Structure 1
Amino acid sequence: MTAFDPTDYLPDDLLERIRDRAVVHDRENTFPQDDLDELRAAGYLAVLVPTERGGAGLGLEQAALLQQRLATASPATALAINMHLVWTGVAKVFSDRGVTGMEFVQDGAAAGEVFAFGISEGGNDLVLFGSDTDAVPQPDGGYSFTGTKIFTSLAPVWTRLGLHGLDTTSEDAPKLVFAFIERTDAVVTSDDWDTLGMRGTQSRTTRLNGAMASAEHVVRRIDPGPNPDPIVFGIFSVFEILLASVYTGIARRALELAVATAQTRRSKKSGTSYSQDPDIRWRIAEMALAYDALPPQISVLSRDVDDLADHGPRWFPLLSGVKHRAVVMAKQVVDEAMLVAGGGSYFTSNELSRLYRDVLAGMFHPSDPESAHSTSASAWLGPLES
């Protein structure tokens, strides 16, 4: 078997163009349309789509490696593309397990459509297990959705939005409904993305005013709350692994920049490069030791998803744990890289300054630190006594 080479999908010259544009989109608070156009032309939107449906046929393990590499050039571009890849990854989880209903996602991605992720809602810490969005059943089997979604990455460009809402009126209600809508007048995208970092994602607020999902695009109706349904496992597994990949990519880039700086900066005191300073060497070693733990963890967990491994209830602490560790590690590595680079890294024109701001977003993605710790505690200690 030929070894997987990420440069086949993300060659160095493409990565450099994306890196050059990242500073502009961060400064101007704009969406990286050129990045999307080049990635779409390269087939990147369909890397998780089976070859028989027009995609590259890669597994989650390979996609995770690609996202780590893309994040070294532009974390915001990688995070935005993540949300599209989540849905193609969920479609792969379905097809790998013989579950039908998401083939249209694979076909759409192969045709160049852009899928966005409309799950997050302000104040809804149930996340996948509940929704404040009203899902109203229609006579033809479709649903209309009314509510507000936040952090909708790819907001200016998506062609289909995967979302969930709560059906409270059907005979078997309540049911959580997962479906896909198209962009119509019933969807209002606010121009409200003006953030500290990850500015290029353009993760704006989306207001739904009776937005329609046709019957064939309603992919799941499940009971609210923790649920073993494939839609919950699919979203949670792909989302957490690809998030961990993006932030691990940020750490990789920060480490590279710190090494380059240590090799070029010279000390007035000693006359040697900073790479010969014992304190700097220790700091970079600390960064490397922290970073080196994450890529193998991501690789093993994503391979287990691809190979249909059965971790039972252990899946959730494993997945939330790898995302949490990746974010904590990445923040630590970027902090250390800033210190290695010195005061020049404090200027906004410095790439480390952007990484420093971008990495902070990791704490706000599910699973947040509180949820990750609660999940892990329950796995080891059992649930809280009532």
Structure 2
Amino acid sequence: MTDPEAILPSDLLERFRERAAVHDRENTFPSDDLDELRRIGYLSLLVPTSSGGAGLRLGEVALLQQRLATAAPATALAINMHLIWTGVARQLADRGIDDLAFVLEGAAAGEIFAFGISEAGNDLVLFGSDTAAERRADGGYAFTGTKIFTTLSPVWTQLGLHGLDSGSGDDPKIVYAFLPRSEEAAGRVSIRDDWNTLGMRATQSRTTELHGAVAPPGRVVRHVAPGPQPDPLVFAIFSIFEVLIASVYTGIARRALDLAVACAHQRTSKKTGAQYSDDPDIRWRIADMAIAYDALPPQIAALSEDLDTGVDHGSRWFSLLAGVKHRAVTTAKRVVDEAMLVAGGSSFFARNELSRLYRDVIAGQFHPSDPESAHSTVASAWLGPVTPR
């Protein structure tokens, strides 16, 4: 197991933490963070050593993402989207599917892969798309539609996305492909400068308009039927996404817990003269936070190991993955709430790190699987599908 401190040393994290406040305040992209991460090989963590990467396993990268998120949650969330695509490519390659070999090679060469799946009002997510995918004579595809929450908008070089090829109407297919950044210069990709949000501001996850943007034949990687189905690409996207999203919010929870502990040792009650760390109510509150947090890293580690080694959880896989993401997000929000109560009124000021964590952690509820989808998935796993009437 790689030592996270060796890859993300404390002095590096402190630089990220100092810059995080600036990027949050000024609503800017963390270019300096990205440069430092690139220099230490972070973009190719999941790329096999045979392809020029670090060859880390998913569990090791999940732990690193937790550590990075303790310093700069938005930076961790932004780089997450690139890591998701490399993780998908790695999972497929480990199973003998080389459709995304170019992603591993590109990441090792410095390419940045972004996630172009989300669409306004499309709660089908991976199982449907409002973006039109039109097949070209050479086997490539032209995509027309609007993607939202396109993280890494200022810097991506390849945009992984999906769209619907309605064909003749009898056999529609969801098409997965990658667009080169050159399509923006060609006028077929337009990125709005519209990212002005409550939290996670440094991700700069801007809206992307596609106007017949062309993915060449070699970058069209899958045609699958709409709706839930067991295609390995769809499963890989869902599984890596849920694990690494859970990791970012677990990192937020850890930082909030650490800040609460520090505040408890620093504050003294005027009423009793005792340190807050000796106050039974504060001790109970922090213990409750720690108990909730302690459940997250082991489950992320266990699911990561199962994904890496090909454990077959069958129909339970989707409920386990949706569940760990939902649990991480809701637990992190609860821990941040409690940390603010321990810290007191100073945490209400925008300059306070807990104030930023409070705003950042809210973003978690909007990532798939959202609370409704997660509960529906888990209910179906345990109760079976709803009986038609």
Quick check: TM above 0.5? Answer: yes
- Aligned residue identity for 1:200: A
- The whole-number CA distance in structure 2 between the counterparts of 1:212 and 1:247 is 35
Could you say which residue in structure 2 is the equivalent of 1:347? 349
* Equivalent of residue 201 in structure 1, options 185, 200, 203: 203
> C-alpha distance in 2, partners of 1:229/1:203?
28
Which amino acid is 1:360 matched to? I
Counterpart CA distance in 2 for 1:45 and 1:173 is: 38
Q: CA deviation at 1:171?
A: 8.5
The residue number in structure 2 matching 1:15 is 13
**The one of 52, 55, 58 aligned to 1:57:** 55
**Which residue of 1 is the match for residue 174 of structure 2?**
176
The residue number in structure 2 matching 1:82 is 80
Cross-structure match for 1:273:
275
Q: What is the one-letter code of the residue matched to 1:328? A: T
Q: Secondary structure at the match of 1:176?
A: strand
Q: Deviations over 1:81-116 (max 9, x none)?
A: 110011000001110100111011001111111100
Aligned to 1:69: 67
CA shift digits 1:2-40 (9 cap, x unpaired): x42011211111111100100000000000000001001
Task: Give secondary structure in 2 for the equivalent of 1:37.
Answer: helix
Matched, 1:215 2:214: no
1:65-214 alignment, distance < 5 Å: 65-169=63-167, 173-183=171-181, 184=183, 185-214=187-216
- CA deviation string 1:222-275 (max 9, x = no partner): 111111111111000000000000000000000000000000111112222110
Distance 2:12 2:179 in 1: 32
* Cα gap change, 1:42 to 1:172, in 2 (>3 Å): farther
> For the Cα contact (< 8 Å) 1:144–1:213, is it kept in 2?
yes
- Output the CA distance in 2 between the equivalents of 1:102 and 1:7: 30
Residue identity in the other structure for 2:226: P
Q: Does residue 42 of the first structure (1) align with residue 40 of the second (2)? A: yes
The normalised TM-score by structure 1 is: 0.98
Q: Aligned-pair distance for 1:172?
A: 7.0
1:378 to 374, 377, 380: 380
SS at match of 2:197: coil
Q: Deviations over 1:62-98 (max 9, x none)?
A: 1100000000001100000110011000001110100
Q: TM-score, normalised by structure 2?
A: 0.98
Paired residues of 1:177 and 1:221 also in contact (CA < 8 A):
yes
In structure 1, the residue matched to 2:258 is 256
User: Which amino acid in structure 2 is aligned with residue 318 of structure 1?
Assistant: L
The offset of 1:177, in angstroms, is: 0.4
**Matched letter for residue 158 of structure 1:** W
In structure 2, stretches of 5+ residues that fail to align are: none
Q: State whether residues 254 and 334 of structure 1, in contact with CA within 8 Å, keep that contact through their aligned partners in structure 2.
A: yes
What is the letter of the counterpart of residue 82 of structure 2? H
Task: Work out whether residues 137 and 170 of structure 1, in 8 Å CA contact, stay in contact via their aligned partners in 2.
Answer: no
Task: Give the distance between the partners of 2:385 and 2:169, measured in 1 at CA.
Answer: 32
Whichever residue aligns with residue 199 of structure 1, its letter is R
Could you tell me how far 1:385 is from its partner in structure 2? 1.4
Percent same amino acid among aligned pairs? 71
* Cα distance in 1 between the residues matched to 2:143 and 2:294: 44
Q: Tell me, yes or no, if structure 1 residue 306 matches structure 2 residue 298.
A: no
Q: Which runs of 5+ in 1 are unaligned?
A: none
Using the TM superposition, give the Cα deviation of residue 119 of structure 1 relative to its aligned residue in structure 2, in angstroms: 0.2
What is the aligned partner in structure 2 of residue 324 from structure 1?
A: 326
Alpha-carbon distance in 2 for matches of 1:6, 1:347:
32
SS in 2 for 1:384: coil
Residues 299-337 of structure 1 show CA distances to partners (whole Å, capped at 9, x for unaligned) of 000110000111111100000000000011000000000
Range with bigger deviation, 24-33 or 184-193: 184-193
Partner-residue secondary structure (3-state), 2:129:
coil
* Residue equivalent to 2:366: 364
Secondary structure at the aligned position of 1:371 is classed as: helix
The DSSP-based 3-state class of the residue aligned with 1:248 is helix
Distance in 2 (alpha carbons) for counterparts of 1:131 and 1:56: 34
Within the alignment, does 1:5 sit opposite 2:9 as a pair? no
1:129-178 deviation per Cα after TM superposition (whole angstroms, max 9, x unaligned): 00000000011111010000000000111000000000012697301000
